[in-house]
Each structure stands twice: as structure tokens, then as C-alpha cells.
């Protein structure tokens, strides 16, 4: 994919992944700002000048051992879903990643509500020797049926991330610790500089909707969102530090953030939870989120 391809690629990816929050600006930003410690190629399938397939291929070379490659956001146009195009895209990505030294390969396949054509692609993945590694549930919420705001817990204050524009390090620390503590979490989290660039500075980051929870003035929890600036938001993280759990902070913060989103004209909210994250699944159930489908990460180890 070249930068000029993005306007015609975006409608295809949106149609194939209806729960994703994605914009042209975000795709251009990623094209111009490749993630540190990785190399990325967006592969396209083009027929008669039309983009009919897409796959993002990423190799991590940040010192992780073993070196890992990932093929994600696999998308096939409706006109080509009965063909071998998804398999050919995955084969091309695998070839690129293994030639570059990847020792572990990962990819995702999801149920139809999350990835159109995902069940067909799942068979492709299994046929190529991948095995399931972990699964996430993707949930959706129509904000018109959002429950009324709860009363604030005693001693608790909510502050939007925009209040910390000059120095968000307190937010970084809560985000880092709670993310690393999640079920199925990666053991890697960016340093503060990388987080400022990759997360805080990302064009989808809705800093006016993201909230820091203070308990008697002490940072205790966060709830974070990305937005397309129109009708959709997507949860990127909600977590509470261990010493503050059991007080309802995550549920309170998430409810209030979604009310802020609705006030700004957002209609739909999406979130993903690891299947073992029972506390967050319970919070989302109380908020009215409904299952859209599950997404499974598959792994193939080439060495070791």
C-alpha cells in the first residue's frame, strides 16, 4: 500500500471489520509514523484497478525473543469471498515475515459480526498449521439505552485526560500497571516517550472522553477511548490499580465516560475483553453491552 491508496482502502477495511474505529487520518498517521521496534507493510490485492484485499503485516525487531510477526486486519471484498484471496494474502505475509527472520507467527480470525468472512479465513489459518492462543469477546452498545449515571463514590473525582496535556505521566503509570495486569496481557509496554507518541498522540485518541479516577487525590484508575470523531467510540483500556479494586471505580468511570460520549453525539460504543476477564465482562453486561462476536489469536511457532 502506498500513502495515496489509503482513501480507497479505508472503505474496504471498514466494511470487512464493522466494529473497528478507523479514519483516513489515522491510517495516514500510521503510514507516516511506523511503530518503533517494528517494520510494517500493508499488502493489497488489486484487480482491474480496484482494491479487493488487504492485510497488515508487522515484524517486531525490538529485541523480543523469539522474533515475532503478525498478519492482521485481513480483509477480502465481497466480490472475492468465494476465492482463495484470503489464503494468498496470508501466504504473502508469511513469506515476507519468515524471510525477515520471524520465528513465531500470529494472526487473527473472528466471527462474522466482527470480521466479515472471518469464519472462512479461520479455516485457512487452521489449514496452515496455526493453533488457537487466546480469544477475546467483542461487545457493542447502543448509547441510547445507556443506564443513568450513578452517584460518585465518596472521595472520588474524575478528570479528563485533557487536564493533563502538559504532563500526563500519572496517567501513563496507571495505564501501564493496569494493562500489564490484564488477563492475556503482553509482557511488553512502551516507555513513557513511546506511549506519548503512540497512544497519547494517536489521532484516534479521544482525550476529552478518557478519564483518570482520583481517590482522595491519588490516581487509581483509567478508562480510555478512541473515536472516529462522528458516531463511534472504541474502548482501548479500562483498569484499576490493585490496591483500589473492589470499590466500583472502573464501572463508575466507564459509565460517566460513555455519557460524555453520548453528549457529544456518539451513537455506538465497542469494546473487547479477554474471555478470562470476568470483572470487566460483568461491568460491560451491566452497562448493556451485547455480544457481537469473538476474535481468536492463532499462533504458529517455526523454531523452538
DSSP 200: I
284 neighbors 266 (Cβ within 8 angstroms): no
Q: Residue 187 — very low, low, confident or very high, per pLDDT cuts 50/70/90?
A: low
Instruction: Tell me what pLDDT residue 276 has.
Output: 85
Q: Are residues 191 and 243 in the same domain?
A: yes
DSSP H helices, the chain, are 6-16, 24-32, 85-99, 118-127, 169-180, 192-195, 249-263, 278-287
Q: Are residues 131 and 165 in the same domain?
A: no
Instruction: Tell me what pLDDT residue 217 has.
Output: 97
Q: Are residues 79 and 165 in the same domain?
A: no
Q: Residue 280 — very low, low, confident or very high, per pLDDT cuts 50/70/90?
A: very high
Is 20 a member of any domain? yes
Q: Are residues 70 and 133 in the same domain?
A: yes
Return the percentage of the chain with pLDDT > 90, whole number: 86
Q: Are residues 24 and 76 in the same domain?
A: yes
- Concatenating the DSSP letter of every residue in 232-256 gives EEEEEEEEE-GGGTTSSHHHHHHHH
Q: Are residues 132 and 172 in the same domain?
A: no
Question: What is the 3-state secondary structure of 71-92?
Answer: EEEEEECHHHCCCCHHHHHHHH
Q: Are residues 156 and 126 in the same domain?
A: no
Instruction: Tell me what pLDDT residue 88 has.
Output: 98
Q: Residue 303 corresponds to which cell in the numbers above?
A: 523454531
Q: Residue 36 — very low, low, confident or very high, per pLDDT cuts 50/70/90?
A: confident
**How many domains does the chain fold into?**
2
Q: Are residues 130 and 156 in the same domain?
A: no
- Torsion 18-22-27-28 (CA) sign: positive
146 neighbors 288 (Cβ within 8 angstroms): yes
Q: Are residues 121 and 163 in the same domain?
A: no
Q: Are residues 125 and 256 in the same domain?
A: no
The domain in which residue 273 lies consists of 147-287
Is 142 a member of any domain? no
CATH number at residue 37: 3.40.630.30
Q: Which tens digits make up the pLDDT trace of 239-269?
A: 999 999 999 999 999 999 999 999 999 999 9
Q: Are residues 230 and 211 in the same domain?
A: yes
Is 127 a member of any domain? yes
Q: Residue 63 — very low, low, confident or very high, per pLDDT cuts 50/70/90?
A: low
Mean pLDDT of 36-58: 94
Q: Which tens digits make up the pLDDT trace of 90-107?
A: 999 999 999 999 999 999
Residue 64 has pLDDT above 90, yes or no: no
- Strand 232-240, strand 268-274: pairing: parallel
Instruction: Tell me what pLDDT residue 182 has.
Output: 83
Return the percentage of the chain with pLDDT > 70, whole number: 97
Q: Are residues 131 and 155 in the same domain?
A: no
Amino acid at each position: 500500500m502506498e500513502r495515496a491508496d489509503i482513501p480507497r482502502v479505508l472503505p474496504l477495511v471498514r466494511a470487512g471489520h464493522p466494529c473497528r474505529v478507523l479514519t483516513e487520518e489515522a491510517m495516514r498517521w500510521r503510514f507516516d509514523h511506523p511503530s518503533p521496534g517494528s517494520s510494517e507493510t500493508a499488502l493489497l490485492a488489486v484487480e482491474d484497478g480496484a482494491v479487493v484485499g488487504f492485510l497488515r503485516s508487522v515484524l517486531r525487531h525490538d529485541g523480543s525473543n523469539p522474533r515475532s510477526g503478525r498478519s492482521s486486519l485481513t480483509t477480502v471484498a465481497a466480490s472475492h469471498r468465494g476465492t482463495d484471496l484470503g489464503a494468498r494474502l496470508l501466504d504473502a505475509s508469511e513469506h515476507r515475515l519468515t524471510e525477515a527472520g520471524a520465528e513465531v507467527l500470529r494472526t487473527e480470525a473472528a466471527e462474522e459480526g466482527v470480521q466479515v468472512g472471518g469464519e472462512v479465513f479461520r479455516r485457512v489459518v487452521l489449514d496452515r498449521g496455526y493453533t488457537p492462543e487466546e480469544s477475546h469477546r467483542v461487545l457493542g452498545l447502543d448509547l441510547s439505552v445507556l443506564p443513568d449515571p450513578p452517584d460518585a463514590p465518596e472521595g472520588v473525582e474524575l478528570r479528563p485526560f485533557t487536564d493533563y496535556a502538559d504532563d500526563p505521566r500519572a496517567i501513563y503509570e496507571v495505564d501501564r500497571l493496569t494493562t500489564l495486569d490484564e488477563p492475556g496481557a503482553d509482557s511488553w509496554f512502551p516507555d513513557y516517550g513511546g506511549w506519548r507518541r503512540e497512544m497519547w498522540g494517536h489521532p484516534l485518541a479521544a482525550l476529552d472522553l478518557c478519564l483518570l479516577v482520583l481517590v482522595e487525590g491519588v490516581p487509581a484508575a483509567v478508562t480510555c477511548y478512541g473515536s472516529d470523531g462522528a458516531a463511534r467510540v472504541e474502548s482501548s483500556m479500562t483498569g484499576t490499580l490493585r490496591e483500589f479494586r473492589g470499590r466500583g471505580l472502573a464501572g463508575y468511570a466507564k459509565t460517566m465516560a460513555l455519557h460524555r460520549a453520548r453528549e457529544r453525539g456518539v451513537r455506538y460504543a465497542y469494546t473487547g475483553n479477554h474471555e478470562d476477564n470476568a470483572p470487566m465482562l460483568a461491568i460491560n453486561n451491566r452497562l448493556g453491552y451485547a455480544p457481537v462476536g469473538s476474535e481468536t489469536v492463532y499462533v504458529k511457532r517455526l523454531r523452538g
